[in-house]
Amino acid sequence: MFLRSCRLLVSALVVSACASSSDTTFGEGGGTAATASEGNSNLIVRAELDSFPGQSAFDAVEMLRRRWTQSQRGSSFSGPRYARVVVDGTVRGELDELRRFNTYNIETMRYLSASDATTKYGTGYMGGVIEVTTIRGP
């Protein structure tokens, strides 16, 4: 009897979760890209960047996700560890590279932790990576 009650409860929770997740779909009648990034501290989407017209990507990151530009913890011997910048899959260098990009030209920015960056790009990313995806014209 107890096992059957647990199954019913789990089933009800699953159905409830599936029903509520339909609120965040994109497209006609769905949510916006900005609502998709709410609560995601590792992603900045185009809709958020629209709030910073004409500003640099660095300025937008400073306002939206300041943590991305701060030094990550490291040993006292290795010095500060800042995120590196990757644009459209190409390693561009240090954080100052973000100053070269206008928010008009960016689709998304995503922060990868040091471990995720090392898995994806190899060693040398102890401060993580800020991946920038630009808007590509037709």
Q: 53 with 23, same domain?
A: no
Q: 26 with 47, same domain?
A: no
Q: 69 with 18, same domain?
A: no
Q: 26 with 90, same domain?
A: no
Residue 36 included in any domain? no
pLDDT band at residue 136, thresholds of 50, 70 and 90?
Answer: confident
Per the structure, the complete domain to which residue 60 belongs is given by 41-134
Residue 98 included in any domain? yes
Q: 21 with 66, same domain?
A: no
Condensed to tens digits (0 to 9), the pLDDT of residues 80-120 reads: 689 999 999 999 999 999 999 999 999 999 999 999 999 99
Q: 18 with 54, same domain?
A: no
Write b or e for each residue in 36-54: b if 16 or more Cβ atoms lie within 10 A of its Cβ, otherwise e: bbeeeebbbbbebbeebee
Domain count, the chain: 2
> 69 and 62 in contact (C-beta within 8 Å)?
yes
Average pLDDT of the chain?
Answer: 78
Residue 47: pLDDT over 50: yes
Read off the pLDDT of each residue in 128-133 and give the average, rounded to a whole number. Answer: 97
Residue 44: pLDDT over 70: yes
Q: 5 with 63, same domain?
A: no
CATH of the domain at 82: 2.170.130.10
Condensed to tens digits (0 to 9), the pLDDT of residues 66-75 reads: 999 999 876 5
